[in-house]
Chains A and B, each alone.
Chain A
């Protein structure tokens, strides 16, 4: 608070306050950042150096760094496959959920139709139902979808959408909180614009596409960023929905590596560094995204109150 620092204290106490403040900020920075730095440095250790010796100042000498754990992680430990799957999954979810949610947000925010408030109440109600309650029945539903994946009309015989991209993506094609966010934003836009478009014979989807969306860059960015970040890190749903490595997202893949169901256990010397290298690769895309869009991420939190 700029205003509190204008308080007049005796110079000695003022100085002490300043010093404590700076120490506090630095302590916070260390706590927040140290795990990342430690992870990055440990992942660059050559052949088990890290595991054998633990902490040495030599670790921070770039001459001792090696990318070997990254090469092993990328090639032998299937990280490249996981990153590919995660990218497909996250991009699909982001594009689909942003589109469907903004369409629904437009309708709920700007159009009048029977049962609007009831339907919007329903959308809001689904916001309080978390994935940890639904993932089990949802799994059964996807497994037993009629007429898909070898299932008959009663949903028996095959495996439905289990272990498929469709099964991974479908339950995430819409996000209730994004609908809410879009609706709140769209309600603030002036009505004249779309009325003009309507008089000119524009249909509703055209108004959404040509009038509303071009004015909504910031909110679209916020929603898309959080959709991407959420699906990039997704764990529970991909874990229960995939049975083959082909469909492992990076989090599921890293979990399976850590608990030895991958092909990595034989390389004990490198094991820890490879795991950490994989973790670094799981975090890097989000880190870049955050550096590029920090303002939008922070505004998004303030806007939605979501964590």
Chain B
């Protein structure tokens, strides 16, 4: 059979298809393979390790079933750790949302220098947590730190904020809010810019004041943004680590130790890799549940 032009065209198309598929697999390999090896495999590894007693340096491993989980939930320190992490979450999430929302309301206007102001509010987010933790330790210095000096003006007696059981966690939360609110602000700003101006015009025709606009238009319309930030804030709170490491090392007397801090200590200071893995799995489950809620919410109700 003679090869007609139509046939040649089909051959050409089939050739293109084959080449497309071949290249597709080749080009995603350098992305998908590392994700499998360095993200998926470690999760499976953590689950597996959590049922063992494992020493990474001598590479000795013994199967102990759910022993690590039972140990964790019987352990006083683990309960303290969970309590601390929840305390951090309860303090950090509403505060970072409130401060971020307030900042967004303040800076959602067209005035000169607005991008400088937004930049200044946002800068703490981008900087090294360790470096800024060191700066804040200096600000919290008991005698000559700026926090002590400022509070003295209000008649508060200076104390060793980061080493006192009742002030260490609030101090860590405060710095975490300082470091995060710029990000919350930017996401709220993006949300604010998505609200049609006609809504406000209509309300103003009906005689609504500033407070009513905020209460009945802005806040309800930003609810999806708030929900998203709420979940993301919780996920971040469950993983707080850098700030605790640099500012308090979990102290005083375990008052600020958190889940990830305990994972780190058990794995790398006490060589309890199995026990640490069990905690990592608990953390993973908590994050997975939160992510699921987030996804569920946004796949069902994205529309205003």
- Interface residues of chain A, those whose CB is within 8 Å of chain B, are 1-5, 7, 17, 21, 24-25, 28-29, 31-36, 38-39, 42, 50-51, 53-55, 99-101, 103-104, 106-108, 111-114, 116, 119, 122-123, 126, 128-130, 132-134, 136-141, 143-144, 155-156, 170-171, 173-174, 176, 179, 198, 203-205, 208, 229, 232-233, 235-236, 240, 250-252, 254-255, 258-259, 272, 275-276, 278-280, 282-283, 286-287, 290-291, 294-295, 297-298, 301-302, 305, 307
Contact = CB atoms under 8 A, between A and B. Distances in A.
12 contacts: A5-B109, A116-B24, A136-B273, A144-B56, A174-B31, A235-B128, A236-B264, A272-B138, A279-B135, A282-B128, A301-B183, A307-B183
Contact of A134 (B36, B39, B117, B197): B39
Contacts, number: 307
B283 interface: yes
B122 A104 contact: no
A66 to B, nearest CB: 17
Interface in B75-133: 102-103, 106-110, 115, 117-132
A108 to B, nearest CB: 7
A44 to B, nearest CB: 13
Interface residues of B, number: 106
B249 A136 contact: no
Nearest to A53: B144
B62 to A, nearest CB: 15
Nearest to A234: B128
Contacts of A38: 135, 138-139, 146
Interface in B251-304: 260, 263-264, 267-268, 273, 276-277, 280-281, 283-284, 287-288, 291
B209 interface: yes
A42 B249 contact: no
A303 to B, nearest CB: 9
A133 to B, nearest CB: 4
Interface string B158-196: 000000000000000000001010111011011010000
